[in-house]
Structure 1
Amino acid sequence: MIIAGLVFAALGAAIHVYIFFLESIAWTGPAARRTFGTTDATVDITKPFAFNQGFYNLFLAIAVFLGIVFVATGATAVGATLVFVGAGSMLAAGLVLLLSDRSKARAALIQLTAPLIGVVLLAIGLAV
């Protein structure tokens, strides 16, 4: 269960690295514009906000990846803590998005599903 939890947490982290790319690097490009629905009128205005938010997503992913490394090297308590904080924050942010704007349910579910599964499986794996 621990390995399965770490795999799903890593998947969640990889999704957040991609979100970082879209928000902080490719914000004005076609993929980001299609994903986030920006227009010619809004893309430049929202660029600084998206840039900052993208790094937030990257930092959560880094926490998860570092946690996985710590677990793999035997520092389970430190590693699990990092994974729970990183993936738990991804999950919480996805829930905030889902509950605040139902029209963004698809995006929220993409953001929160893998971290949710990762956190649950890791918790079960550590408990047994």
Structure 2
Amino acid sequence: MTMIASLLVALVAALHLYFLVLEMFFWTRPLGRKVFRLEPEFAEASKTLAANQGLYNGFLAAGLVWGLCLGEARIQLFFLGCVLVAGLFGAATVGRKILYVQALPALLAIGALLMR
């Protein structure tokens, strides 16, 4: 179960690195606009806010990687909890898809960590 937990934490970290790249570097480009279903005008007007979101996603990924490198479950659980709360809030305020893309992977990783 330890290997599964580590893989799930790494998956959540990788997802948040992907979100960082999308939000900081591809928000106004075709890939970012497609993923987030953005009109070009809105993407351009909101790119600074998106970059800020991306930075926060990077901090979440960094915290998860830090916890993995130290082998410290408490650090991993803290950052997974942050991801879970952000995912639940995003699902409630932005769209249900966030529940499956962000909150569910975090919840699965939390469960795997607690079961090891």
Give the structure-1-normalised TM-score: 0.84
State the one-letter code of the partner of 1:66. Answer: W
- Residue 84 (structure 2) pairs with residue 91 (structure 1): yes
3-state DSSP of counterpart to 1:27: coil
Percent identity over paired residues: 29
Match of 2:111 in 1: 120
Match of 1:66 in 2: 66
Match of 1:22 in 2: 22
Unaligned runs of 5+ in 2: none
Residue 108 of structure 1, CA deviation: 2.7
Residue 85 of structure 1, CA deviation: 1.5
State the one-letter code of the partner of 1:93. Answer: A
Q: Is the 8 Å Cα contact of residues 8 and 114 (structure 1) preserved in structure 2?
A: yes
Residue 2 of structure 1, CA deviation: 2.5
> For 1:30-57, what per-residue CA distance to the aligned partner results, in whole angstroms no more than 9, with x for missing partners?
1110111211221111101000000100
Residue 15 of structure 1, CA deviation: 0.6
In the alignment of these two chains, the number of paired residues is: 116
Task: Measure the CA separation in 2 of the matches of 1:92 and 1:55.
Answer: 17
The CA RMSD measured in Å over matched residues stands at 1.2
Task: Measure the CA separation in 2 of the matches of 1:99 and 1:28.
Answer: 25
Residue 3 of structure 1, CA deviation: 2.3
Q: Is the 8 Å Cα contact of residues 12 and 112 (structure 1) preserved in structure 2?
A: no
Unaligned runs of 5+ in 1: 72-78
Task: Measure the CA separation in 1 of the matches of 2:30 and 2:97.
Answer: 19
- Larger Rg over CA atoms: 1
Residue 105 of structure 1, CA deviation: 1.2
Task: Measure the CA separation in 2 of the matches of 1:25 and 1:83.
Answer: 27
